[in-house]
């Protein structure tokens, strides 16, 4: 029997890893069925980078406006905690669509984050949701502390907590970089976000005046997340966010 060389062993191992990844991505991207549902517990590591929204292939008219806003808490010169105004980052991102006739039309980040943030929060138990939204502004928990508190609050599957925290951390990282680009002279001690959604004016009220259409529109619904420790990416990432903010707000 021929002896395996180190090169052959490496090629075989790399091929198996690539095949496993390809299989996982394929199962995760299939339309919902018994096979994709059975594989779901083993493909959660793909979120949030490799998930696919199947509405791409069955577009529907926009039924509601969705926005993600960021707010930071910082320590003022007198030692007290103060909060920034809410920054509507979705509005900044939409400048690409509203005011740029030429250029990229890629989906904006907050549009991709909105639904998963709500869905992952919805999979938590009631006690875990309470833990998630009642963290203190003056002393937000570390990510490991928050994970322990969520797991201790209920017997839900650990992967529900892990994926929820993955989206939370990605959103807080974006929020921190946005807030630091707006207020570079402030040191933030806590950051949070708000999910705002408002249904469009009902079809039957479409012919009214602007005031009548606005009056007929359902009220806006907000869900404000808990305070989190600031999360900062690389220097290059921070520069990109700051540059984007300057060009589009």
Q: Hey, is 231 helix, strand or coil?
A: coil
Tokens describing residue 64:
């509601």
Terminal CA-to-CA distance of the chain, rounded, Å? 67
State residue 159's pLDDT score: 84
> What residue spans define the domains of the chain?
1-46, 62-248
In angstroms, what CA-CA distances link 32 with 56, 163, 187, 205? 14, 19, 45, 36
Confidence at residue 8, expressed as pLDDT on a 0 to 100 scale: 81
Beta-ladder partners of 191: 72, 228
Find, among 168, 125, 126, 174, the residue nearest to 146 by Cα: 168
Question: What local confidence, expressed as pLDDT, does residue 187 receive?
Answer: 93
pLDDT of residue 52: 55
Number of CB atoms found within 10 A of residue 164's CB = 25
Does residue 161 contact residue 147 with C-beta atoms inside 8 Å? yes
Mean pLDDT by 10 residues, the chain (249 residues): 73 86 78 74 68 54 85 93 96 78 63 90 94 95 96 82 94 96 95 94 84 89 96 90 87
What is the pLDDT, as a whole number, of residue 73? 97
Give the pLDDT score at 87.
96
């Amino acid at each position: 029997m021929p002896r395996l060389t180190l090169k052959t062993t490496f090629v075989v191992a790399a091929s198996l890893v690539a095949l496993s990844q390809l299989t996982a991505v394929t199962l995760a991207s299939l339309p919902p069925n018994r096979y994709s549902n059975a594989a779901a517990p083993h493909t959660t590591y793909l979120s949030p980078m490799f998930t696919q929204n199947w509405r791409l292939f069955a577009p529907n008219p926009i039924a509601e406006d969705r926005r993600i806003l960021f707010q930071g808490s910082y320590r003022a010169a007198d030692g007290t905690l103060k909060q920034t105004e809410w920054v509507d980052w979705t509005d900044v991102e939409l400048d690409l669509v509203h005011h740029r006739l030429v250029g990229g039309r890629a989906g904006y980040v907050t549009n991709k984050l909105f639904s998963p943030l709500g869905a992952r929060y919805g999979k938590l138990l009631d006690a875990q949701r309470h833990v998630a939204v009642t963290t203190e502004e003056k002393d937000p928990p570390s990510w490991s502390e928050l994970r322990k508190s969520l797991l201790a609050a209920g017997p839900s599957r650990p992967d529900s907590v892990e994926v929820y925290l993955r989206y939370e951390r990605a959103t807080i990282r974006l929020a921190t970089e946005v807030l630091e680009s707006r207020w570079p002279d402030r040191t933030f001690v806590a950051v949070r976000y708000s999910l705002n959604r408002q249904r469009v004016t009902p079809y039957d009220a479409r012919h009214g005046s602007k005031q009548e259409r606005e009056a007929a529109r359902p009220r806006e619904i907000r869900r404000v997340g808990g305070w989190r420790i600031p999360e900062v990416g690389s220097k290059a990432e921070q520069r990109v966010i700051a540059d984007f903010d300057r060009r589009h707000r």
